[in-house]
A and B are shown apart, each in its own frame.
Chain A
Amino acid sequence: MDRILVLLHTDADGVLSKTALEVLSAANALGGEFVVGLCGRDVQAAADSIAGCGASRLLAVSGDTFGESRYATDAAAAEALCRAAGAGLILAPASVRWARALPGVAHRLAGVIDTHVTSISMEDGAPRVGRWYYRQRIEAALTRTKRPWIVVLESGCAPAWQGEAGRVVLESVEVANAATRTRVLGVHSPKANEQTIRPDAALLFVAGAGWTKKQADGQPHVDVAGELILGFLRNSAASLGSSKSLVDLSGEGQAVLPFLTHMNQVGQTGSTPRHPKGLATCCHGEEPHVVGWRFINDRRAVNLDANCGWARGKADVVYVADAFAVMARVNEILKTRSAAT
């Protein structure tokens, strides 16, 4: 049985993310001894919040240098924690920080790494992980004998750990060389009322290129489409995704749905978001797009074409209807309900 290190970092506000707590649960489920390694500006509060997690040791790299998300310092911190723990199996959440830094750490440790892991279990005394290849089109299970083995777990692999908080004593770990020529200047976020990507939303709403096409009167109604989509996002707190074709139209300088960027793109060359439900509108459900829906459990679509890709086993329900009319009515109902409450 490998010694396990659960490698976590605090967020900007000093707390552990939900995905970090899920990795703690995953480590607990594997059984055996595990160590927690924490990285951040000040990690004491985060450590105290997981006092009852069952870790045999809690190691920490902290300080202003490690409060920022940056390859050189994150890799140095993670390397130091891994060496201090001496673990054969290292579990980490799929955050931007670790996704950027841990591959380099695997190289420094002469180890191996698997990212975007969606499941982990013990089979015949050895860890086995599941992940996808070719943009979620092929599923694989694999194991490794080389150590250390860094496994970066996607969100949703395990329930978030819940347990007693308390006061823990951290073992501080020195970082040998965290020199960097990079300064973090800040974060550019959309304004709150312009926020369209909401990773924790219960619903993914996907807009397809059909929103920009000519409607029954022979004219496109892009401005109406924009109002309907943004209105729905406001009323439902859904996250907005898009098909590649619609985002590409924006990139080509056409006056279409200006709030869409490549970051909204779902599918083969876009993201693979995780939401319990997904609603596709004016989108044909072609394979390159639908591979991005791999982790959307409950899927519905509104489309004028009863033979679209969604109807061929890719969605649970397809409504053959005009999305303009449907979403206008959906918005009215949601707005009325919101006003009533």
Chain B
Amino acid sequence: MPQFQIVVCGSIVPDPLQTLEPVTGPAGPSLKNELMLPAVLDPWAGHALYEAANLARNHPGSKVYLVSAAPKAKLQQVMMTVGQKAPFELVAIDASASGFTEAADVAALLAGAIAAIPGLDRSRLLVFGGWESASRGAGVTMQMVGERLGIAEQFLAVDQLTVGEDGTLEVLERIEGGSHQISSCQGAPAVFGWATGNLPEPRNNPQVGMQNMRAIMPALQKAKPASTGVPSFVSVSLPKQQRETRVVKDLTPDEVAREIVAWIGEN
């Protein structure tokens, strides 16, 4: 049975329920009170982590690393929860997690950190991450990480990965119109930008959390500060989204239905 070294790239994003407001400073745009906002592991990176943990569990001898570029104080908070979800070894980079940073710079940091993992065996390397982040939302970082690591077998919007006995990787990628493309790759190394996959979020496991935290704290202490650039922003603003909502309370279901059907038929 093949064994893998699975490196998951994933950062943190503001909790989706938080109200976000952009501010612009000398270093470019950022979020107002960014360091005060509650953060979570980027959702698609989270799916990638859970898929990685599941793959490692089913392939004994495999190991999962989580490489994360984020402010280490915020990362520590998020790791208190994420560390209970699945066994992994954290590789932390003390850098901005802002969506306004340059993706290529983030990719360079991640690829450098992956390449520096002691004992990394590229012939068994699977690089996982979200297909895009919930911050920049560009969907470009994983491909650039792959290029920097010299990996040309890359898959984006992955929902399923099946490993054959011979190490062959069968991959389902989302394509247009709600379909999946099925591909077969002759084993590692490969890069996977995950969509949601098929696994639910694991329940917190305090035992896993305690095991992880023994290594997470030293990893955070070792995290080296790194900087990233930003593109030339001309403007950054909240959308003007308020609509004049007409609330219709006094129609029967039949009347509502007729109004909806008429509306659907309008050009």
Contact = CB atoms under 8 A, between A and B. Distances in A.
Interface in A253-288: 262-265, 268-269, 277, 279, 287-288
Interface stretch (A34-42, A59-67, A215-223, A306-314): A306-314
Contacts of A277: 263-264
Q: Which of B104, B157, B198, B237 has the most A CB atoms < 10 Å from its CB? A: B104
Contact of B247 (A199, A311, A333): A311
Interface string B170-202: 101111111111111111000000011010100
Contact of B183 (A183, A236, A332): A183
Nearest to A332: B257
A178 B83 CA distance: 40
Contact of A321 (B182, B237, B253): B253
B148 interface: yes
Specify the main secondary structure of chain A where it touches its partner: mixed
Interface stretch (B14-22, B69-77, B113-121, B204-212): B14-22
B219 to A, nearest CB: 27
A137 B19 CA distance: 9
Given A306-B247, A310-B245, A330-B260, A143 B232 contact: yes
Q: Which of B246, B248, B253 has the most A CB atoms < 10 Å from its CB? A: B253
Interface string B68-110: 0000000000000000000000000000000110111001000
A329 B254 contact: yes
Interface stretch (B4-12, B57-65, B131-139): B131-139
Contacts of B245: 310-318
Contacts of A195: 177-178
Contacts of B261: 330, 333-334, 337
A310 B241 CA distance: 12
A108 interface: yes
Interface string A75-91: 10000000000000000
Interface stretch (A20-28, A127-135, A168-176, A206-214): A127-135
Contact of A71 (B29, B155, B170): B155
Nearest to A194: B178
Interface string B228-253: 00011111111101111111110101
A115 B195 contact: no
Interface stretch (A1-9, A46-54, A159-167, A184-192): A184-192
Given A138-B20, A188-B172, A294-B239, A100 B154 contact: yes
Contacts, number: 274
B152 A75 contact: yes
A224 interface: no
Q: Which size class do A's interface residues fall under? A: 35 or more
Given A144-B231, A318-B247, A100 B238 contact: no
A325 interface: yes
A299 B141 CA distance: 33
A96 B251 contact: no
Contacts of B14: 134
A242 interface: no
Contacts of A188: 172, 179-182
Q: Which of A71, A116, A330, A337 has the most B CB atoms < 10 Å from its CB? A: A71
B152 A145 contact: no
Given A315-B243, A318-B247, A107 B256 contact: no
Interface string B1-44: 00000000000011011011010000001010000000000011
A262 B195 contact: yes
Contacts of A114: 138, 231
A29 interface: no
30 contacts: A72-B153, A95-B176, A96-B175, A99-B156, A103-B143, A106-B104, A112-B104, A133-B99, A135-B137, A141-B233, A142-B231, A143-B234, A179-B152, A180-B152, A181-B185, A188-B181, A195-B177, A196-B178, A248-B200, A279-B264, A311-B245, A313-B241, A313-B245, A314-B241, A316-B245, A318-B246, A318-B248, A319-B251, A327-B257, A337-B261
Closest 3 CB pairs of A and B: A197-B178, A103-B140, A329-B257
Interface of B: 13-14, 16-17, 19-20, 22, 29, 31, 43-44, 99-100, 102-104, 107, 134-144, 146-148, 152-157, 159, 170, 172-187, 195-196, 198, 200, 231-239, 241-249, 251, 253-254, 256-261, 263-264
Given A188-B179, A300-B260, 10 more contacts: A95-B176, A96-B175, A103-B103, A140-B100, A184-B182, A263-B159, A263-B178, A287-B19, A288-B16, A312-B245
